[in-house]
Amino acid sequence: MYKIRIRGGARLKGEIPISGAKNAALPLMAAGLLTGEPLVLTNVPKLADVAFMADLLRLFGVDVEWTGEASLGQGGRYRLRAGTLQGTTADYDIVRKMRASFVVLGPLLARAGEAKVSLPGGCAIGARPVDLHLKALEALGATVELTEGYVIASAPKGLKGAVIEFPFVSVGATENALMAAVLAEGRTVIANAAREPEIGDLGRCLSAMGAKITGLGTPRIEVEGVDRLHAAEHSVLPDRIETGTYAMAVAIAGGEVELTGTSLELVGAVADLLKSVGAEIAATKRGFKVTRNGYRPVSASVETQPFPGFPTDLQAQFMALMATAEGVSRIRETIFENRFMHVPELLRMGADIKVDGDTAIVTGVPSLTGAQVMATDLRASSSLVLAGLAAEGETIVNRVYHLDRGFERLEEKLGRVGADIERLPT
C-alpha cells in the first residue's frame, strides 16, 4: 500500500506528456473479442484498470501480449488475439471490482451468441444501473434474463439490426450497442448516442477492423452489419481527463506547463472554463500550454454534462480549484447522484463548501492547509492531489490504488514540472 505526500506551494514549469485514455483503452480491448484475428493497440496507458481488463480477456481464452513497456509519454502495445473463445462468463468478483468490465457483454454476445455477465451493482459514485445496455441488446434481438445477479444474454441465431433510441446519453450503453451492432445482420441506428471522443475512437478502431459505421461524433450512429471483422492496429486517443486534470493542476498551483501528446479539441469546454477563471491557454504544435501567473483564480460556476459539455470526471478537480479561487462558485453534478465524496476531505483542508442536493456551493479561501486525506474514487483522489499542490504544508493522500487505476505515473509527471510530490509506503 502506498500514500502520496505533497508539500504545497511549488509553481509548475515544464512539460507533461499525456497518456492514452483509460476510458478508450478499456472498450477497445473488449473489441478484441469481436474477431479471431489479432487486434494491436498502441499508446495504451499502463494502469491498474487496463491490466485488469487484460486478465479478464485471458479468462475468455484471449491471447494477450503486452509488448513495449510504457515510458513516460510513450504508451505500451497490446496484441490481443481471441482465436477461439473458451468462455463467455464474467463473474461477480470481476465485474464488482471494475464496472467497466460490463462492456464485454455486447462483443461476447455478438461473437459467441451468448454471454453471462454479472450485474455490476452500485459503486462509490452512485447506483449506476445498466438497463439501457440491456434494452439495446434486446432491441437487437437478444433474449436477456436476469438470474441470481447475472445477466444472461443469448442470440443463438445472431443479432439483427434495429433502431435503438436511448432516452438519455450513456457512454457504456452506446459502446455495448455499437460493438454488438457491428456483427448484427442488417442496419442499426443508435439514436441519442453518446458523443464522447472515446466512442469515436472505438468506432474508428472497429472501422479499421472492417465494420461499417457512419455518424461517429454525432448523436445518430448508423451501422451496417458485416459477417466478420479482421485484424487491425489502432492507437488509443489521448486521455482528455488526464489532460484536464493537469491543466487544472497548473491553474491551481500557478506556473506554465505545456501538455504534449494531446489536443485542445478534446477539452474545449474545460479550456473555456479555465480561461474564464484566469488561466491562459494557447495551442502548441504538440498540444497546448497552460499558464497562470499573478492573481488568484476567480470563481466560475459550471454543471456537468455529456460531451461536448463539462465532464463529470473533472468535476472534483475543478472543485479543488474553486476552493482556492476568489468568489463563490456553484458546481452542479447532473450525471451521477453521489459524486461529492471529495467534499468532506476538501473541508478537512480548510475549504468552504456547502452541498445542497446536486449542487456544491464553493466559497474560495485564500489558502488551503495540508492534511491527511483519502477518497473513495479515482477522480476524487486526483482532486485531493491538486488541493495539496496549492495547500500550505504537507498533504498525505491515502489509498493511492484509486489513482493508479486511472492516472499513469502521476507523481512522476507532476514531479518533473517542479511539484514536491513523493510516493511513500504506508
Catalytic residues, by residue number, are 123
Does residue number 133 form part of the binding site for ligand EPZ (CB under 6 A)? yes
C-alpha cell at 371: 492534511
Per DSSP, what are the bridge partners of residue 22? none
CB distance 114 to 146 below 8 Å = no
> CB of residue 362 vs ligand EPZ: minimum separation in angstroms?
20
Residue placing its CB nearer to ligand EPZ in the complex, 171 or 209: 171
Contacts of 154 (CB under 8 A, 6+ apart): 109, 113, 114, 115, 142, 143
Residue placing its CB nearer to ligand EPZ in the complex, 80 or 335: 335
CB distance 271 to 250 below 8 Å = no
CB distance 236 to 22 below 8 Å = no
Residue placing its CB nearer to ligand EPZ in the complex, 190 or 391: 190
> CB of residue 185 vs ligand EPZ: minimum separation in angstroms?
24
> CB of residue 327 vs ligand EPZ: minimum separation in angstroms?
27
Number of residues that bind ligand EPZ (CB under 6 A): 22
Does residue number 266 form part of the binding site for ligand EPZ (CB under 6 A)? no
Residue placing its CB nearer to ligand EPZ in the complex, 292 or 379: 379
Residue nearest ligand EPZ, Cβ-based:
172
> CB of residue 256 vs ligand EPZ: minimum separation in angstroms?
28
Does residue number 136 form part of the binding site for ligand EPZ (CB under 6 A)? no
The 291-320 site mask, x for binding ligand EPZ (CB under 6 A), equals: --------------------xxx-------
Residues 4-23 that bind ligand EPZ (CB under 6 A): 23
> CB of residue 326 vs ligand EPZ: minimum separation in angstroms?
29
Rg from Cα positions in the chain? 21
The 112-131 site mask, x for binding ligand EPZ (CB under 6 A), equals: --------------x-xxxx
C-alpha cell at 76: 505500451
C-alpha cell at 80: 490481443
CB distance 244 to 270 below 8 Å = yes
Residues 164-193 that bind ligand EPZ (CB under 6 A): 170-173
Interface pick for ligand EPZ out of 132, 178, 179, 216 (rule CB under 6 A): 132
> CB of residue 394 vs ligand EPZ: minimum separation in angstroms?
27
Does residue number 105 form part of the binding site for ligand EPZ (CB under 6 A)? no
Residue placing its CB nearer to ligand EPZ in the complex, 65 or 131: 131
Nearest to 88 by CA among 62, 53, 117, 130: 117
Crossing angle (nearest 10°) for helices 197-208 and 22-31:
30
> CB of residue 397 vs ligand EPZ: minimum separation in angstroms?
16
Does residue number 200 form part of the binding site for ligand EPZ (CB under 6 A)? no
Residue placing its CB nearer to ligand EPZ in the complex, 119 or 298: 119
Interface pick for ligand EPZ out of 12, 41, 57, 100 (rule CB under 6 A): 100
Q: Are strands 302-303 and 328-332 parallel, antiparallel or unpaired?
A: parallel
Cα dihedral across residues 325, 330, 336, 339: positive or negative = positive
Contacts of 104 (CB under 8 A, 6+ apart): 30, 33, 56, 57, 60, 90, 115, 117
Interface pick for ligand EPZ out of 406, 411, 419, 421 (rule CB under 6 A): 406
Residue placing its CB nearer to ligand EPZ in the complex, 266 or 371: 266
C-alpha to C-alpha distance for 420 and 11, rounded to whole angstroms: 10
Residues 138-167 that bind ligand EPZ (CB under 6 A): none
Amino acid of residue 341? M
Within 391-421, residue ranges assigned H as helices are 401-406, 410-415
Q: In degrees rounded to 5, what are phi and psi of residue 224?
A: -105, 115
Residues 205-234 that bind ligand EPZ (CB under 6 A): none
The 24-63 site mask, x for binding ligand EPZ (CB under 6 A), equals: --x-------------------------------------
Does residue number 342 form part of the binding site for ligand EPZ (CB under 6 A)? no
C-alpha cell at 41: 493497440
CB distance 238 to 266 below 8 Å = yes
Contacts of 115 (CB under 8 A, 6+ apart): 88, 89, 90, 104, 105, 108, 109, 151, 152, 153, 154
> CB of residue 311 vs ligand EPZ: minimum separation in angstroms?
6
C-alpha cell at 5: 505526500
Longest dimension (CA), the chain: 66
Point out which residues bind ligand EPZ (CB under 6 A).
23, 26, 100, 126, 128-133, 170-173, 311-313, 335-336, 378-379, 406
